[in-house]
Amino acid sequence: MDEYDLNDDERELAGMVRAFADEVVAPRSYEADRTHALPMDVVAQMGELGLFGLPFPEEYGGQGGDYFALCLAIEALGRVDQSIAITLEAGVSLGAMPVFRFGTEQQKQELLPDLLAGRALAGFGLTEPEAGSDAGATRTTARLVGAASGDGGEWVINGSKQFITNSGTPITRFVTVTAVTGENDGRKEISTIIVPNGTPGFTVEPGYDKVGWRASDTHPLTFQDARVPEGNLLGERGRGFASFLHILDEGRIAIAALSTGAAEGCLEAAVDYAAKRTVFGEALSTRQGIQFLLARMKQRVHVSRLAWHHAARLRDAGKPFKTAAAIAKLTASDAAMDNARDATQVFGGNGFMNEYSVARHYRDSKILEIGEGTSEVQLLVIARALGIA
């Protein structure tokens, strides 16, 4: 990792998480994928290592690190198990970060310690059946009632969300949902509201039967007159959509790191297999066609890592990073998908068997081109930065 200009602390963190991934996560990955079950004991160990608290200040129970440190950990996990990596990514970027960024001091003191210790998880309810890339098409509503009584009002929430990560685990504490809370000049006023799990009228539906990320916890959510206190508003009323666009920009860097890890995992597996596999009396790795394919895979990993490093450094320096994040996410998700396809080809028939990591990466990597903004959305962000869209 020296070639990427890491300091001693960053190098130590990357090495520690990589060892954890190899020794604890990888041996469980096949069975977790086969049974569609998130191993909660592994999540607990991630909490004990401080991974959920990496980019948060110590006053809330965090590790006092930065976003770059979080992404180093996500990359190391994504190399062996994308389901575990996305559990960490979503737990931080979509669960704890909105509270830290936009919550009141009371909300931070109440919610962050358990989230940052990995004792609790939270979901981020943005996507709906009719509102994916077009998140402004949100139909879920939250109506404030009783506010004029002096006893404090309540939000009455109706609607549905889909594809919500970490929303139904045994330790899920709440979900933060975007909802239409009114209109301003004929435009929807979208706000964000914290809805604790167990709230009457809030139902976490059965989990999905997914192509990939099968050990990751993902559910649709429904709200039927679900009532929460007025004080559960997160951030300024009417600023929910704008706030979460910023959260998504950060999340794209983390997904780029995860994608880079996946691309590297495919490369490592393919290099090892090609060296051991004998074809017509010679190692597969002696074939120039295979050598060139593996070289391309290495190129993709290198460029992807440089891209997310650049975006994360900009973010941590307080500089504009929106375009860099889009470039990193686009570059790295393409690399993950391409490397998964090429690694599967190197493995031949074995690559079609789920017990091999490349098969899981092949299934898992497609969502990297979709989640937290599709590749088309990233292209639109980049085009806008060029002033042509």
Amino acid at site 197: N
| Cα(115)–Cα(308) distance, integer angstroms | 25
Tokens at residue 178, please? 């975007």
Phi/psi region, residue 162 (left: phi>0; alpha: psi -120 to 50; beta: rest), is: beta
* Listed residue (95, 82, 89) closest to 51, CA to CA: 89
Tokens at residue 304, please? 């992807």
Instruction: Note if 264 is an active site residue.
Output: no
Length of the chain: 389
Return the C-alpha torsion angle 258, 259, 264, 270, nearest 10: 130
CA 285 to chain centre: 34
Tokens at residue 351, please? 């690559």
HSE value, Cβ hemisphere, 13 Å, CA-based, for 68: 21
* Listed residue (87, 114, 90) closest to 32, CA to CA: 87
| Cα(246)–Cα(126) distance, integer angstroms | 13
CA separation, residue 286 to residues 12, 26, 283, 366 (Å): 35, 29, 6, 30
Q: What is the DSSP letter of 2?
A: G
Beta-strand (E) ranges in 8-114? none
Catalytic residue among 89, 128, 154, 372: 372
DSSP secondary structure of 292-311: HHHHHHHHHHHHHHHHHHHH
- Cite the active site residues: 372
